[in-house]
Amino acid sequence: MFKFIGAIIGFFFLGKNFFGAFIGFLVGSFIDNVTVIRSKITGAGGNADDVFKYYQQRSSAGNSDFATMLIALSAAVMRADGKVIKAELDFVKSFFSQQFGPNFSVAHLQTLKRFVEGGEIPLEQICNDIKLRTQVEVRIQLLHYLFGIAKADGHVSEVEIQIIQRIANLMGVPQSDFESLKNMFYRDTNSDYKVLGIESTATEEEIKKAYRQMAIRYHPDKVAAMGDEYQKGAQEKFQKIQEAYENIKKQRGIN
């Protein structure tokens, strides 16, 4: 638009000739290009279709696709309760900095800003993409990371649990695994039992069996091929299982 306005202004104010119109056209074209580039970088606002198209463009950009998926899910949890706080942003930045090292850049933060400020995030496609590309152990560890975002302010809200539950369902994570993870971050009187995936009425043998099964299922070696931050999260999750087992043993007087 500005290139045509510039051409008209140049024609009348620079001697009413072709040269003036040409100079105005160049200046206007420059303004048009800057406007387009700025809108692509900032990406503030936008409707659901805009964000969906943006995800499709980013997720087809070679090696950056999985990072884009993680950023999109991070944004979904960050904005679940209607506000994005500094503690959540710091948690996400720390994770990506550790996970991607020198490859973590301002571009990642701009992508996060796009999803946080944009329209509805296409969770169905993102979760389906992740489900097709990863094993269930990786998806479970991803949920652990998302719960970490929710707990960054010291409290996991109901709406944050709901969005993570939806993500878990879409990624095909078993409900028992979701409940175990949830109770590592959202505690109640029976949380230790729920972490092990059993009822508080379980027998001593059932408790020991559940612990052995969970210790195998959540062992950090399951995500050994992933980055340092995933390994850190896996170690924390494994420690929570051990703590839950020790708490129950102490309560029950089990040797």
pLDDT greater than 70 at residue 228:
no
Q: Is the pTM of this model over 0.95?
A: no
CA dihedral 137, 225, 107, 166 (to 10 degrees): 0
What is the pLDDT averaged over residues 173-187? 90
Question: What pLDDT was estimated at residue 150?
Answer: 93
Average pLDDT over the chain, rounded to an integer = 77
Q: Which two tokens stand for residue 169?
A: 């369902």
Residue type, 134: T
CB 24 within 8 A of CB 14: yes
Q: Are 199 and 189 in contact (CB under 8 A)?
A: no
Q: What is the per-residue pLDDT for 133?
A: 85
pLDDT band of residue 10 (cuts 50, 70, 90) is: very low
Instruction: Give the pLDDT of residue 226.
Output: 66
Average pLDDT over residues 96-124: 83
**Whether 146 contacts 164, CB under 8 Å:** yes
pLDDT at 32: 44
The pLDDT score that the predictor gives to residue 233 is 72
